[in-house]
Amino acid sequence: MRLTAVREHQRELVLSLDGVGDRDAAHALVGATLYVPRGMISLAPHEYLDADLVGCTVAGLDGTAYGAVERIEHYPSSDMLLVAGTMVPMVDAIVLEVDLAERRILIDPPDGLFAS
């Protein structure tokens, strides 16, 4: 299938696909999972696929190891890395470096982000 358009409607994505021209054909695809070959995905600088971040080790500037990224939550204000049960905002002030080759994320967490 070829994706021809994407728009948001009531916090959901609505896709237009070649060959899906009426409501019945579209309804048959509700809930379907679409896959895109990884080589066709282009990311801007500082954009990452969730699958690339999950499992990365998260460490602080002082060398503290906080754990690995368990999953990513997406919120309107920012994406959040779930690390050892703590939500880490994926913002420039906190996430300083993402090194996918080394599977490492360097952070500068604000005081109190990780409860002791």
Q: What are the residues whose beta carbons fall under 8 Å from the beta carbon of 84, sequence distance 6 or more?
A: 66, 67, 70, 114
Give the helix ranges, DSSP H, for 15-102: 23-27, 50-53
pLDDT score, position 116:
60
Domains and CATH numbers, the chain: 3-34 (no CATH), 50-107 (2.30.30.240)
Rounded Cα distance between 18 and 29, Å, is 13
What's the pLDDT band for 62 if we cut at 50, 70, 90? very high
Per-residue pLDDT at 115 exceeds 80:
no
What's the pLDDT band for 31 if we cut at 50, 70, 90? confident
Per-residue pLDDT at 15 exceeds 90:
no
